[in-house]
Structure formats: C-alpha cells, structure tokens
Structure 1
C-alpha cells in the first residue's frame, strides 16, 4: 500500500450531513459580499423588483443576483453563462445564493435592467469607505486608460479609411473591366475568365462605401463604429490604434481605492475638472489635491479646478516646436513679476505692449516684445525666424495660477512617481481580471455598468486586504 493520505469513498453515506455553512470559513470573502448586499437599501439605490406583487410567477430577489455578479467579478467570471455553471458546482456560491441557480438569461437581464442600481451600489461602498475615514489625506491621482470595446477595428470607419477602400474597389472594378475587354477581343481565351457575379458584388460594395463616406463625413466625430456605435478608434501604447473606451478613474494615494470612475470615448485632455468634481461630490468637500499627467494639462481646466477650491498638480508638456525650428524655447524667457516684463536669453527686457485674444480658445493674452532691442540683437537668428517682426511672448491673464502650480510641482519632485504608482496599478489589476476581451457589452450604459462592477469588486478586495475580512464584516454591520 502506498503511504499517502486517503480520501473518503464516493459511495460512503453519512448519518449526519454537514451544514453548508461549515464549508465557508469565517474569513471567506463571500461573507463580506453577503453582509454588504444585505446592509444596503436596494430599493433606494434604484434596483427593480425589490417589492413585488403577490400575484404571478415569483422572481429572484435583486440581492441574490447582485451577490452573484459581485462574486463573479471578484473571481474573474463575468460571463452570464459561466456564472450559471458556477451556481451548480461552486460551494461558495451555493452558500452565498442559498442554493439558488438562476439561468443565464435571467443573470444577463439583471445586469442590463439594473444599470443605475449597480452604479449606485458602487458609489455606496465608496461612501462607506469615506465614513470609515479612508480618504483622510484627500490626495487623489487621476488617469485614463483605453479598454478594448466589442467593436472590431475592421468595423470602424474614418474618412481616410473609407477613401482608401473606395479607391481600392474602384481599382478592382477597372481591372475586371479591362480583363473583360481583353477576353472579348480574344475569343480563344480559356483561362482567367472573369466572374460576372464578382463584378456585381464590387459595384454594390462601391455604392455601400459611398453612402458610408457621406455618413462618416456628416458625423460630429468623423468616425463610425458599426458594432458598438459609442466606441472610438484611439491611440494606445506602442503606437497602435484600437477601438476602445477611455475609462477615467480617481484613486486615493493613501489606500489606493478607486473613488470615482467614468467611461468616456474622448482623450484625457479637457477632463481634469470633470473627474475632480466627481471626487468632490463623493467626499462632500472641495479641499482636495489632484495629481495628473501632462495629458490633462489645459490652462482653462486648471483654473476652473482651482476656482472650486481644489489644488491641481499637472506638469506641462512642451508642444511649441521651437527647438525643431532651431530657435529659443519659450521656457528660456523668464518672467519678472515685479517689473511685469520678460527677460530674454540676451538679458533684454520685453515690455508689455498690448492685449490680444487667442484664436479658437478665446483666451485673453498680454503681449510682450521690444522692437529696438530685438532688431539690434546679436543672437536674433536664434530667437526668431522673422526678418521684420521681433520675438513676441504671449502671457495668459491668469498665468499666475499656472506659475504657482509649477512652483508646487518643483517643491514636490516625487509627485509624478506617486501618481504613477497610485493610479496605474488598479488599471492593470482590472484588465488582468477582464482578460483579453475586456468589455463584453455594448453602448455607454451597459459598458458603464460593467465598469462599475469591476470597480466595486476591486474596492472590496482592496478593503479586505487593508482591514481583513472579519474586521470589514464587523465594520459593514456597524
């Protein structure tokens, strides 16, 4: 006989069957899910069928299906069909759902029909974290990350792509017509016969593409995604382009909890104030500090954020292109606040001359230059390419706000590292849970619901790591 631990016989019966509760330890995460869902008011959060009529066929309580989804997203099981299978074989789910086994259609419909309730449940957990004083530092890092949509790249069209496809089809039609003319002139030709049906298909395809071209050009975004109309072709890492959603998150730098999130289909630039306002709403205070990368740098956004009472720390990227032109960068011109002048690299003072308005943005600018000093300057060729006009420096009337922010950034050199270590880890974790497919649903409403479930699962797991399962259960009950 082998010296190994022996299991029980599959045919062995027991006089006293174990209770299902004996299979779930006290520190099992399913106990946190169970307590959290039982303690919140599902009706007030917007879930349907909390209160039902006494007639008709009974339905599943929304608490049952919400527990199932939270468990699934916590354990990398997002598919409704896979969740249905798990309810039949997973002991933890048998305990959590009290041996109920909804079918996949019921599970999928719950996520589709309770979008608002699921989003509010995610916000409710963040509110509970706030009540536990988890956000005492009030410093948050924000960033956006591209999450692949259901829409394939081949089903996404831009003006450039449609033009290329039309030209290719027209070229193919001309080749077919040329071959047909050759065959008509050579009656003995037996090979390379042209298929008439192929030519008909190409002409029909050309009509479709011409109609699609008009549709794309008329679209506000100059882009159409046929499978998921809300998704957009975006630049991702390694210079590749994919059809994605851009998910914005704000993460607490102390405990790395996701405080707010939003699914968008636009770039990061211009979303600084929007994300910060969501954080302020969650925390019920305006006194917060926001860390962001240079992709969020927009002077109007930074001023709007400062006006709310928050502080922004956003580094400025150099987009002037002066170095490529072989002339001095604007950063080499120092502003003297006392004299209200700019000191150029040749140590000449550029005086304030007039006001102007920036084309496109409407920003009010102050103009600084010195025609005489610039005309006689020995390094003029390194400062401006114009033979007549002097080098002019434009200063936004609220530039002082940006200068103060830059001073705070220079006083805290670790800001960029802190932001990166804080906000990028949750993105990596959630994408790992999602796998290669990322989102499973289409349109903003359903994709936002999916993201809320991922964020709720992430925050639950993070809180269990911080407090411990049993301590978190006690806190949720309290």
Structure 2
C-alpha cells in the first residue's frame, strides 16, 4: 500500500472514545432546531403525556425531517435507514431510530407547523442579515404526490366512469328480470338479492360521481384529488396533455408571496420564459415588483432566414416602427388578443420593397405591439434575453 493514501485500521482502538458532538460542525444548520419554540409553532405532543408509553420528542423528528430535506431524502423509509447508519443523523437524533411510520405520521400531522418553522427560519436569516431578499428567482418543479390515480378526477374521467356505471346498472336490471323469468325458489331469491345489492352500490357510486362533477365546475384547473387536494395529474413523458398545469399564471402569486415573506416594499424577480405573460408582468409592476422574464420566440421567421420583430426599430416619440429597408410602419389599429390590447403597425410600401422576400410571405408585414410592452422591453434587449445584472 506504500505510495497511496491509507485509511484507519479497522482493528485500531482509541484511548478516548470519540463523541458524536465531534462529528458535526458547530455551524450545522440543524442546530437551529434546538432553539425553536415548538409549542408556539403548533407542533403536536411537544409536552410529554403523564400516562402511556413515552414517544419521540417533536424536535427529534423535526431534525430528521430537515436533514432529509437538505440532503434530498424525502422517503420516510430512507430516513429510518439513515438514522441507523449515518453519523450526522445519529448526532441529530441522539442515536434514536424512529420507525418510518412514526416519521410519516409526524409529517402528516404537523404540516402547518412545519411550514411555520420554515417561515421562522426565513425570518431568522433576514434578521441576522444572511438574506438580503432584494432579488428572488422562481422556477417550477414536479413532486411525487401522495394520491392514487384512481382518486384523481377530471371531467373526462368522470364522464367515462358515469357511462360505465350506467351500463352496469342496465346490465343488473336485465339480469334481475331474466332471473325473475327463468329461476324459481331459493336460487332466484339469492340472485335477485345479490343483483339488487350491486345495483344499489352502482347507484351510490353514480351519485358520488355527480357530486364530484359539480365540485369540478368550481375547481380552478378542472381537477380534484381526494387524498391530496394539491396533487395534480401531469404528463411525465413526451406527449401532450390538455390538463397539465403550467407556470404562465404563477408569476404574480409567487412574486407576491415572496415579497410578503421577505417584508419588502420592492422586489426583483427572475424567471424563465415559461413564466412569460404580459398580464402577469403588468400585475407585478403594479405591486412594485420588477420582473425579468425572457420572451419566448414563437416565430419561425428567423429559422427561415427572414426578419423578425427585433429587426424593426421602434421610435417611442413618433410611435412608429422603422423596417430594415428604412420604410416607416405607422400605427393603424388596436385589437384585443388573448386579453391584451395589441397595437398594429404596417407600411403601404411593402409590395414594391426589394427586401420583401426576406421580410414576409404576405402582401404586407404587420408588427404587433402590446400597450405595456415598455415594461419588459426596458428589462430585456431586443432578442428577449435578460440583460446581465
């Protein structure tokens, strides 16, 4: 082994046993948990009961939960294994190994308290100056939900289920009538009773589907999950799904929540092009939030070698566009498109323009401009890419 880095001999003994305290640094994040007022935060069973078998203190389970969150270990079974083999987890729990069911129950019963703990931690970081909070970045993500697909309902799924139940009810009625004609005695009575029971169960299920359909009419995204209300069916493969959620309407809610949590009068928020929405950017501006969001390129002109909107220079003083050929595109009309007031510009010189083939395949080249386009134009250059800050 000469010439290599050598580890400790497994059979070597030490004069003084090492302490668990020595294995965790003094600035470890989870040490903050010891200073939290668990009762004020709303944790259940923060005080020991006088009778019954002693349970785990909420601080022990909270430490383990935070450790799993920081190290990407969301599973309660994996946290149970880590508590028995990971030195850091051993220090956090005092070498206690809670059962995975205990960990899962703690997370389920103390959801609001855990959220308040996270808010308390953000407030602590803000007070000691670790968190400036003048700029926030947001992005979307998918999390595995605690909800079976059979307990998630959409309009299409409820309609399919109702159609299936109607066929079942009709079949039970036909079988009952056939048994009434062809069978006699106890066999007939037993079959009629069995079919009647199944018929009533199907009718109850139909009533439940009708109630869910009424609730679905008020659901914002036309989905209902019975086990986990926040769970949503989403496409995880490369295919289109009409009921998959998107980020486009989430910029203002996320920015507003961040502004409230950080207690700031102004805020700068960064997001990718999936969050781009003129209405959302305007709403952020009205709340004192500066949004930097790149505009997605939905035009195929650049791919085909033609001029794009960025090649047309806008003159705000004259309210005109000037094309690459030097012609003026004047304001002509205002139309509402997808809830936005769009101003349209074009020039009558297009038919005789020598650059027409590089500009448009139509008779005229029209440019549309949102009435509040200056809000995102001042944050992004002409090609829609955010300026470095």
Instruction: Flag the 1:97–1:241 CA change in 2: closer, same or farther, 3 A.
Output: same
Distance 2:299 2:362 in 1: 13
Alignment check: 8 A CA contact 1:313 1:405 kept = yes
Q: Deviations over 1:180-222 (max 9, x none)?
A: xxxxxxxxxxxxxxxxx9xx999x9899689748845861453
Superposed counterparts of 1:88-107, under 5 Å: 95-98=91-94, 106-107=102-103
Matched, 1:223 2:223: yes
Distance 2:92 2:352 in 1: 83
Paired position in structure 2 for 1:299: 278
Paired position in structure 2 for 1:395: 369
Instruction: Flag the 1:408–1:288 CA change in 2: closer, same or farther, 3 A.
Output: farther
What do you get for the CA RMSD once the two structures are aligned?
5.5
Superposed counterparts of 1:41-80, under 5 Å: 41-50=37-46, 52=47, 56-57=50-51, 60-74=56-70, 78-80=74-76
Instruction: Flag the 1:159–1:69 CA change in 2: closer, same or farther, 3 A.
Output: closer
Q: Deviations over 1:324-352 (max 9, x none)?
A: 99997555543222321123566442323
Distance 2:270 2:93 in 1: 41
Shift, 1:392, TM fit: 5.0
Paired position in structure 2 for 1:111: 107
Paired position in structure 1 for 2:343: 366
Moved more, 106-115 or 131-140: 131-140
Instruction: Flag the 1:333–1:157 CA change in 2: closer, same or farther, 3 A.
Output: farther
Instruction: Flag the 1:60–1:348 CA change in 2: closer, same or farther, 3 A.
Output: same
Distance 1:293 1:207 in 2: 47
Distance 1:315 1:40 in 2: 41
Instruction: Flag the 1:205–1:316 CA change in 2: closer, same or farther, 3 A.
Output: farther
Instruction: Flag the 1:99–1:375 CA change in 2: closer, same or farther, 3 A.
Output: closer
Paired position in structure 1 for 2:3: none
Give the TM-score, by structure 1 length.
0.55
Superposed counterparts of 1:82-231, under 5 Å: 95-98=91-94, 106-135=102-131, 138-153=134-149, 156-160=152-156, 212=209, 215-216=212-213, 219=216, 220-221=218-219, 222-225=222-225, 227-231=227-231
Q: Secondary structure at 2:284's aligned position in 1?
A: helix
Shift, 1:98, TM fit: 4.3
Distance 1:81 1:37 in 2: 22
Instruction: Flag the 1:398–1:412 CA change in 2: closer, same or farther, 3 A.
Output: closer
Distance 1:227 1:326 in 2: 52
Superposed counterparts of 1:279-294, under 5 Å: 279-294=258-273
Shift, 1:411, TM fit: 8.3
Distance 1:24 1:60 in 2: 20
Shift, 1:267, TM fit: 1.7
Shift, 1:270, TM fit: 1.9
Distance 2:270 2:213 in 1: 37
Distance 2:383 2:118 in 1: 33
Alignment check: 8 A CA contact 2:310 2:383 kept = no
More helix by share: 1
Shift, 1:47, TM fit: 3.0
Aligned length: 362
Distance 1:360 1:319 in 2: 15
Moved more, 136-145 or 234-243: 234-243
Instruction: Flag the 1:201–1:332 CA change in 2: closer, same or farther, 3 A.
Output: farther
Instruction: Flag the 1:138–1:359 CA change in 2: closer, same or farther, 3 A.
Output: closer
Mind listing any 5+ residue stretches in structure 1 that lack a counterpart? 9-13, 174-196, 245-265, 385-389, 416-478
Q: Secondary structure at 1:126's aligned position in 2?
A: helix
Matched, 1:312 2:306: no
Superposed counterparts of 1:230-245, under 5 Å: 230-236=230-236, 238-239=238-239
Alignment check: 8 A CA contact 1:149 1:243 kept = no
Distance 2:10 2:45 in 1: 49
Paired position in structure 2 for 1:407: 381
Mind listing any 5+ residue stretches in structure 2 that lack a counterpart? 1-7, 170-193
Superposed counterparts of 1:315-326, under 5 Å: 315-319=294-298
Distance 1:172 1:47 in 2: 48
Q: Secondary structure at 2:248's aligned position in 1?
A: coil
The structure, 1 or 2, with the larger RCO (C-alpha pairs under 8 Å, 6+ apart) is 1
